Amino acid sequence: MVGKNGLVRPDEFRKNAHALVDWIADYLERSADLPIVPAVAPGELKARLPASAPEAPEPFDELMADLDRIVVPGLTGWQNPGWFAYFPGNSSPPSLLAEMATAAFGQQGMMWATSPIATELEMVVLDWLVDLLGLPQGWKMSGPGGGAIQVSASDSSHLALVVSRHRAQATNPIDQLVAYTSAQSHSSIEKGARVAGFKHFRAIDVDDEFAMRPEALEAAIAADRESGLIPAFVCSTVGTTGTTATDPIEPIAAIARREGMWHHVDAAFVGSAMICPEFRVHQQGLELVDSYVFNPHKWLLTNFDCSVFYVADRQPLHETLSIVPPYLRSAAATSSEVVDYRDWQVPLGRRFRALKLWWVLRYYGAEGLRSVIRRHVALGHDLAARIEAEPDLELVAPARFSLVCFRHRAGNEATDRIVEAINSSGASYVTPSLIDERRFIRVSIGQTYTEAEHIDRLWKSIAGAL
Ligand code: PLP
């Protein structure tokens, strides 16, 4: 309930916050037992809400009671250890607490002057990640490049497309520019190309393991050049959404350089695995690319939103994005020491997102994070071995990381029956997928608390449907 002059006193906040933190701790304890798929029909939750906002203040107890009454029944089990759908959307206690502190500070980090700590912490934490993930040293803020936290991988890739278009359009007609990526890349690349104004988009053929074929890229470029078009952008994926296939960065980079194209790498999910040196073989050649994205909000225990975007050279980014009206000028902004993150993204305003990443990196330490990734990958390999040992099942792609893709050898209907058995069990949840009319099941392991017992439960549903 609000007090005098409509204000909430700090002691009242303290009491409410303690009650909420207790509620959250209880929620975390019971979240594994909540339904993964909410048992609600479309519109049912809306019907539980009043049609208009309250005129009179309501007590905090009532707000809290509605968490149980309205919110929890409508939650999808992203934080359930039986969550194997899509890619994970991780969370963790230190990240959650940092989000609370971030909200308390209410910073608007568009410029150094509007939040020195939001700016400088982000610079330092993203420099740390360059070392932790084995990324090129030139991507540190002390080099020609640098990093910025964006909302999502789709945003980051869109940004790379916008910069490539801006650069290419200086010397070429915009309607002749072409963007390329593999036929297995995420839909955000095609969407980003469209929004960035590309009139020509090519989905390049993949090999047997679903990685882009560089010779098919060369052939598409040659055909486009032949018809007077200008190759301007190519995206390689390290860890495709369908099967975590990894495109060969080095040969694609050689083509991009020869053709004067911007080369972006989308490592949205798999990028977090690079904290373990044994996976870095899949990112060989990054020192040759122009931009890169990965999402700590997928697999590095950091709450959505936290997508890390790096450029090898920040000049083209600023040439594309920097517009400084008089009300955004400051003495600090004219210093070469100062980073104004508004020039690293499309919107002006930005959240203070570095705090949660900083806390996650410190609370777990690199070794703690490595052990989480390795545990998930080991669980994936264990599941893949069970599938290979089962005559009715087959893997549809190598399980290089923690995503396991398999199908029933009898075909689509039998595969669908397994999906139905898993998803109706209430204990696990998977999303089916499709390549060339062949349906398959993606088991995406990466929820913070997934352990062997959850894989055992999943396997029971699979085995029961054979
Ligand atoms: N790129 C890849 C390879 C993905 O798998 C995904 C989502 O799963 C995305 C991009 C989109 O990520 P975001 O939701 O952060 O935009």
Domain tally, the chain: 3
What pTM value is reported for the model? 0.95
The edge-to-edge listing of strands for the beta sheet with 200-204 is 146-150, 307-311, 291-294, 262-266, 230-237, 177-182, 200-204
The answer to whether position 96 is within a domain reads no
254 and 346 in a single domain? The answer is yes
342 and 380 in a single domain? The answer is no
Q: Last residue of a domain, which of 351, 384, 413?
A: 351
The answer to whether position 317 is within a domain reads yes
* Residue 348 confidence class, pLDDT cut points 50, 70, 90: very high
Location of structure tokens 């990466």: 446
432 is written with which tokens? 């089916």
pLDDT digits (tens, 9 = 90+) for 311-323: 999 999 999 998 7
From 269, 304, 353, 401, the mutation candidate for ligand 1 (largest count of ligand atoms within 8 A of CB) is: 269
pLDDT given for residue 190 in this prediction: 98
* Residue 429 confidence class, pLDDT cut points 50, 70, 90: very high
139 and 252 in a single domain? The answer is yes
Give me the CATH number covering residue 247: 3.40.640.10
pLDDT above 90 as % of the chain:
91
Q: Once rounded to an integer, what is the mean pLDDT over residues 222-226?
A: 98
pLDDT given for residue 405 in this prediction: 97
306 and 226 in a single domain? The answer is yes
| Separation of alpha carbons 426 and 458, rounded Å | 10
The answer to whether position 212 is within a domain reads yes
The answer to whether position 93 is within a domain reads no
Nearest atom (ligand 1) to Cα of 151: 15
Please name the helix (run of DSSP H) or strand (run of DSSP E) that holds residue 395, with its range, or none: strand 393-395
The answer to whether position 27 is within a domain reads yes
The answer to whether position 1 is within a domain reads no
Nearest atom (ligand 1) to Cα of 155: 16
Whether 1 shows a pLDDT value over 80: the answer reads no
pLDDT digits (tens, 9 = 90+) for 441-457: 999 999 999 999 999 99
pLDDT given for residue 31 in this prediction: 87
Nearest atom (ligand 1) to Cα of 156: 16
State in Å: Cα 64 to ligand 1 middle.
Answer: 33
pLDDT given for residue 8 in this prediction: 83
Burial label, 49 (beta-carbon count in 10 A; 0-12, 13-18, 19+) = exposed
Whether 336 shows a pLDDT value over 90: the answer reads no
- Say which amino acid occupies 307: S
Nearest atom (ligand 1) to Cα of 307: 15
Q: Which of 167-171, 176-180, 219-223, 237-241 has the lowest mean pLDDT?
A: 167-171
The answer to whether position 268 is within a domain reads yes
pLDDT given for residue 4 in this prediction: 67
State in Å: Cα 199 to ligand 1 middle.
Answer: 23
Q: Once rounded to an integer, what is the mean pLDDT over residues 178-193?
A: 97
286 and 419 in a single domain? The answer is no
* Residue 6 confidence class, pLDDT cut points 50, 70, 90: confident
pLDDT digits (tens, 9 = 90+) for 144-171: 999 999 999 999 999 999 999 999 999 9
State in Å: Cα 267 to ligand 1 middle.
Answer: 8
201 and 335 in a single domain? The answer is yes
State in Å: Cα 186 to ligand 1 middle.
Answer: 6
| Separation of alpha carbons 233 and 256, rounded Å | 8
Nearest atom (ligand 1) to Cα of 87: 8
Give me the CATH number covering residue 379: 3.90.1150.10
272 and 161 in a single domain? The answer is yes
342 and 373 in a single domain? The answer is no
State in Å: Cα 83 to ligand 1 middle.
Answer: 17
From 90, 156, 241, the mutation candidate for ligand 1 (largest count of ligand atoms within 8 A of CB) is: 241
From 243, 295, 308, 309, the mutation candidate for ligand 1 (largest count of ligand atoms within 8 A of CB) is: 295
Burial label, 171 (beta-carbon count in 10 A; 0-12, 13-18, 19+) = exposed
- Say which amino acid occupies 265: V
The answer to whether residues 460 and 423 touch, using CB atoms and an 8 Å cutoff, is no
Nearest atom (ligand 1) to Cα of 239: 3
Q: Once rounded to an integer, what is the mean pLDDT over residues 13-37?
A: 94
Q: Which among 146, 151, 223 has a CA at the least distance from the CA of 180?
A: 223
State in Å: Cα 270 to ligand 1 middle.
Answer: 10
Average pLDDT, the chain: 94
The answer to whether position 452 is within a domain reads yes
Q: Which among 272, 253, 250 has a CA at the least distance from the CA of 134?
A: 272
176 is written with which tokens? 């002749």
The edge-to-edge listing of strands for the beta sheet with 429-435 is 83-84, 429-435, 438-444, 403-408, 393-395
State in Å: Cα 153 to ligand 1 middle.
Answer: 5
Give me the CATH number covering residue 57: 1.20.1340.10
258 and 400 in a single domain? The answer is no
- Tell me the residue range of the domain where 274 lies: 107-351
pLDDT given for residue 177 in this prediction: 98
| Separation of alpha carbons 191 and 341, rounded Å | 24
Whether 347 shows a pLDDT value over 80: the answer reads yes
The binding-site residues of ligand 1, defined as CB within 6 angstroms of any ligand atom, are: 87, 152-154, 186, 188, 237, 240-241, 266, 268-269, 295, 307
19 and 146 in a single domain? The answer is no
Q: Which residues pair with 168 in a beta bridge?
A: none
Whether 335 shows a pLDDT value over 60: the answer reads no
Q: Last residue of a domain, which of 19, 54, 75?
A: 75
339 and 247 in a single domain? The answer is yes
Whether 334 shows a pLDDT value over 60: the answer reads no
Q: Last residue of a domain, which of 351, 385, 411?
A: 351
Q: Which among 375, 392, 371, 393 has a CA at the least distance from the CA of 384?
A: 393
389 and 257 in a single domain? The answer is no
Nearest atom (ligand 1) to Cα of 304: 15
State in Å: Cα 190 to ligand 1 middle.
Answer: 12
State in Å: Cα 262 to ligand 1 middle.
Answer: 20
* Residue 333 confidence class, pLDDT cut points 50, 70, 90: low
